[in-house]
Amino acid sequence: MQIKHVIQTLSQEFALSQHPHSRKGGLIGLAACSIALGKDSGLYLKELIEPVLTCFNDADSRLRYYACEALYNIVKVARGAVLPHFNVLFDGLSKLAADPDPNVKSGSELLDRLLKVFVLGLRLYF
């Protein structure tokens, strides 16, 4: 229960804050939670992913890049457990692929490649 509370605090008080620096810290904190949880991060994916995806729409391109980086780290740790969330991830990625900022676009391409590894890896087992 404490893990959920930490994730909620990082999400609501930081990642979704009005202050850009707090949002950056919240994104970094959510990614760090996922890394610390390891394989258990799959149990909290909805709580970890939703605030990060919200930051994909931020007006600040640096925040969009941090969101992309945070989601990359969450996906890298959670691996195939993210596949039930594929639709929302794909929707968010499709928006970032057309981002005018080259850093955000580059980050979205790295995340896209990582997701493809898990999607194709799952397909090989069927």
The pLDDT profile of the chain, 126 residues, written as one tens digit per residue, is 899 999 999 999 999 999 999 999 999 999 999 999 999 999 999 999 999 999 999 999 999 999 999 999 999 999 989 999 999 999 999 999 999 999 999 999 999 999 998 888 865 544
Structural domain total, the chain: 1
Instruction: Say what the pTM is.
Output: 0.93
Give the domain range for residue 99: 2-124
Burial of 100 (0-12, 13-18, 19+ CB in 10 A): exposed
DSSP codes of every residue in 60-124:
-HHHHHHHHHHHHHHHHHHGGGGGGGHHHHHHHHHHHHT-SSHHHHHHHHHHHHHHHHHHHHHHH
CATH of the domain at 79: 1.25.10.10
